[in-house]
Structure 1
Amino acid sequence: MIYDLHVHSTASDGTCSPTEVVDEAIARGLAGIALTDHDTMEGLKTAAEYIKDNQFSLEFIPGIEMNTELNENEVHILGYYVDADHLKVKRRLTEIRSQRKERAQKMIAKLSDLGVKISYEEVHRLAGSDLIARPHIARAMIAAGYVSSVKEAFDYYLGKEKPAYVKRYKFVPSEAIELIKQMGGIAVLAHPGLIRDQNLIPSIISLGIEGLEVYYPEHTPEQLAGFLQLAEQYGLLVTGGSDFHGNNITESRSQLGAAGIDSKLMSKIKAYRNTIYGNS
């Protein structure tokens, strides 16, 4: 019984709609999923209502992944059991989406200077929403024939310190953790193995992190063992997920359920939630 607690849809930078993600999870026999789109909760109600209307047995955890930065390091914070109707958080997320749009426009301008001619309109069309991310720009580059994969776009143009890169808006882990907790959610440090400066992890945990995404496709066996030990040391929940972005993504994130947790670990998350927030 696998629970994949890190899944993306077209509400952010995935290629499957929220309902398609649900269908894929059922087809793969998963026990549950958490929809955790980047800096948005727009797909949560659609997925939840689709499951309810069709009486699917799939357990659904409303979530979010907030993209933050600390000391020039990308730090992603997952939130589980978030409230999609929380007005204050929704307003802040709207601000973040606006900043993402400005960032995307600057990167597109840089690409143009490099001879890579793509339009913001095309990127927005591929995104399918107002939440624009670098993978959307990469897909526009692929469609125009400039690169053959998202990885190539990042390696040569869009990755950090590459010629078309633009620094992200200022959004720090402490604010993301606070926003998640304001919604009655559980704050989890996503894919800690991808943080460039591993020495930052204890200080991030000290900001109020409640769980650690130990099981992740790109974590090595050594990292997995180390993060299990770290979770025990700090008394953190152990979570896991595939970081699924779509079946046509040519990376480890292309298979829903490629990483996740079993029912025993899921029960610990539920018990913790009930202890902190009650049964709401």
Structure 2
Amino acid sequence: MRYIDMHVHTTASDGVLTPKEAIDLAIKRNIDGIAITDHDTVKGIEEGIIYAKGKESFILIPGIELSTEYSNEEIHILGYKIDYKSEELLDKLNILKKSRVKRAEGIVERLKDLGYSISYEEVVQISGDGVVGRPHIAMALVNKKAVQDIPEAFRKLLNKGCPAYIPRFKLSPSEAIDLIKRINGIPVLAHPGLISKPSFIQDLIKLGIEGIEVYHPDHSHSQETVYLKIANAYNLMVTGGTDFHYPHDDEDKGSIGSIKVPVSNIINTQNK
């Protein structure tokens, strides 16, 4: 049986590996394919598809992870097998990109007011061609030795409720789900174990979710059992992935390919 890691981030958003490097790492770890699912961008997909064609039988699924807000909670919607060149999608992503930039600039200004020596230009240097986000700001703080590591930056300054936190514009789940469907994709609920209210899962199913990320590094075995039952009860596609952002030790759950699902889970879904 062939397996695929369905949740991989690259330098196009807040990952540390380029699409090429992520593919090479997956091959090194005997994974047959990955889905590139960067946050609110499709910038890394073309590079991944072209590079994957030169790797015998390697599968590259074009995807995205859209940030949405529902009842004051952030919920992520994954889209698989999308038309990543859709003008409607690109227009919407451009709006989201501008909101991310505005937010990042605001966070940097708050940090300055709090006494941290940091500039927006330094953050952009870290993000490179990727979408500017809080992880890049956290890394800038680490580089300045203002915090010990990225988790500390989030815990002390960047998480919701912290001094430098600023909310940003997000789509609603229904907007994200409908958009993904209009561009011929499959909308999937990402890491449901991170949602505070289990009842939201039923709400999202009613809104048209077609899959659920059963397997994720932050899910316990008991949670996986619950989500698998939900998937079977509602005929939802079962996905799983590492939510990969940076290399871990091979045995760690966050390591690319350490969580995977059969390729057939998505290849055969809805004949898409």
- Listed one character per residue, the Cα deviations across residues 192-235 of structure 1 (whole Å, up to 9, x for unaligned) are 00112222111012111000000001101111111111111222
Q: What's the offset of the Cα at 1:248?
A: 6.3
Q: What's the offset of the Cα at 1:169?
A: 0.6
Q: Secondary structure at the match of 1:147?
A: coil
Q: What's the offset of the Cα at 1:149?
A: 1.6
Contact residue 97 and residue 130 of structure 1 kept, 8 A: no
Contact residue 246 and residue 253 of structure 1 kept, 8 A: no
Q: Runs of 5+ in structure 2 lacking a partner?
A: none
In structure 2, the residue matched to 1:238 is 238
Q: TM-score, normalised by structure 1?
A: 0.92
Q: Runs of 5+ in structure 1 lacking a partner?
A: none
Q: Secondary structure at the match of 1:21?
A: helix
Q: Which amino acid aligns with 1:28?
A: R
Contact residue 35 and residue 62 of structure 1 kept, 8 A: yes
In structure 1, the residue matched to 2:269 is 272
Q: Which amino acid aligns with 2:133?
A: A
Q: Secondary structure at the match of 1:89?
A: helix
- Superposition pairs for residues 119-134 of structure 1, below 5 Å? 119-129=119-129, 131-134=131-134
* Larger displacement relative to structure 2 (116-125 or 32-41): 116-125
Q: Secondary structure at the match of 2:69?
A: strand
Tell me the distance in 1 between the aligned counterparts of 2:56 and 2:150. 33
Tell me the distance in 2 between the aligned counterparts of 1:136 and 1:171. 22
Q: TM-score, normalised by structure 2?
A: 0.95
In structure 1, the residue matched to 2:33 is 32
Q: What's the offset of the Cα at 1:271?
A: 2.2
Contact residue 33 and residue 60 of structure 2 kept, 8 A: yes
Contact residue 6 and residue 240 of structure 2 kept, 8 A: yes
- Listed one character per residue, the Cα deviations across residues 107-151 of structure 1 (whole Å, up to 9, x for unaligned) are 111111111221111111111125111111111111111112211
Count residues in correspondence. 269
* Larger displacement relative to structure 2 (227-236 or 203-212): 227-236
1:157 lines up with 2:154 in the alignment = no
Q: Secondary structure at the match of 1:51?
A: helix
- Superposition pairs for residues 8-19 of structure 1, below 5 Å? 8-19=9-20
1:225 lines up with 2:222 in the alignment = no
Cα separation, partners in 2 of 1:55 and 1:65, compared to 1, 3 Å: same
Contact residue 103 and residue 168 of structure 2 kept, 8 A: yes
Aligned-pair RMSD on alpha carbons? 1.5
In structure 2, the residue matched to 1:97 is 97
Tell me the distance in 1 between the aligned counterparts of 2:11 and 2:31. 20
1:196 lines up with 2:196 in the alignment = yes
Contact residue 101 and residue 130 of structure 1 kept, 8 A: no
Q: What's the offset of the Cα at 1:19?
A: 0.7
